Amino acid sequence: MQHFELKGQTREVAGKAAIKAFRSQGLVPCNLYGTGVEGNVLFTVNAKDLKTVTDTPKAHIIDLVLDGGKKYTAVLHELQWHPVTDVCLHVDFLAVDENKAINIEVPIVISGHAVGVQQGGKFYQNARKLRVCATMANLPDEVTVDITNLGLDKRIKAGDIKLDKIAVTTDKDAIICGVKTTRNTVVASEEA
């Protein structure tokens, strides 16, 4: 899994007026908690630096550097967005340990050409990310799903995906992708 370094400054104040002042300066208030962190660590990061992490479909392990010295390894836990302007308002980071399992969402990459599509069906994809659990060393950058043998009216569920040393924690009945029968396929089979 890729690592990304993000620099921030700790903050003491947490009131509404202080938060508003931070946002007007182009800073995003953040919160860090989890393994190896005493209490919560309040800090701010530059909004432009944060965009490189939030505006990508890829999953990252984030190396937080606070006040130029303190280092934490974390993952994005929760993001709060402005409902109109899509500006990030607040971020929660979860500190992680290299030796403990991490639960994180990784992007799904589809590979191959489905047999059902070649027979006239229509391919659909319901999920773009898959939640997995593994130690940091075993976390994948992405999960590749091969759809070559996917026939008409067949689908792939999260429970069908098997990975070495990685547990899939998405609901096993969640549909990842499938091939639907179209009207043209039904008409062609009736004519045949």
Q: Which residues contact 129 (CB under 8 A, 6 or more apart)?
A: 57, 105, 106, 107, 108
Cβ atoms 94, 74 nearer than 8 A: yes
Are 83 and 133 within one domain? no
pLDDT at 189 over 70: no
Check the CA dihedral 104-108-109-111 and report its sign: positive
DSSP assignment letter at 24: H
Are 13 and 92 within one domain? yes
Domain final residue, candidates 75, 97, 119:
97
pLDDT value of residue 81: 92
φ/ψ of residue 36, rounded to 5: 80, 10
Are 20 and 80 within one domain? yes
Mean local confidence (pLDDT), 98-115: 91
CATH of the domain at 124: 2.170.120.20
Are 87 and 66 within one domain? yes
Distance of alpha carbon 118 from the chain centroid: 31
CATH of the domain at 69: 2.40.240.10
How many structural domains compose the chain? 2
Are 65 and 39 within one domain? yes
Are 92 and 110 within one domain? no
pLDDT value of residue 60: 84
pLDDT at 18 over 90: no
Are 74 and 126 within one domain? no
Q: 33-42, 105-114, 148-157: lowest mean pLDDT where?
A: 33-42
Are 8 and 79 within one domain? yes
Are 119 and 35 within one domain? no
Domain range for 53 is 3-97
Are 72 and 124 within one domain? no
Confidence band of 154 (pLDDT split at 50, 70, 90): very high
Are 10 and 56 within one domain? yes
Domain final residue, candidates 97, 114, 134:
97
130 token code pair: 């898959």
pLDDT value of residue 170: 92
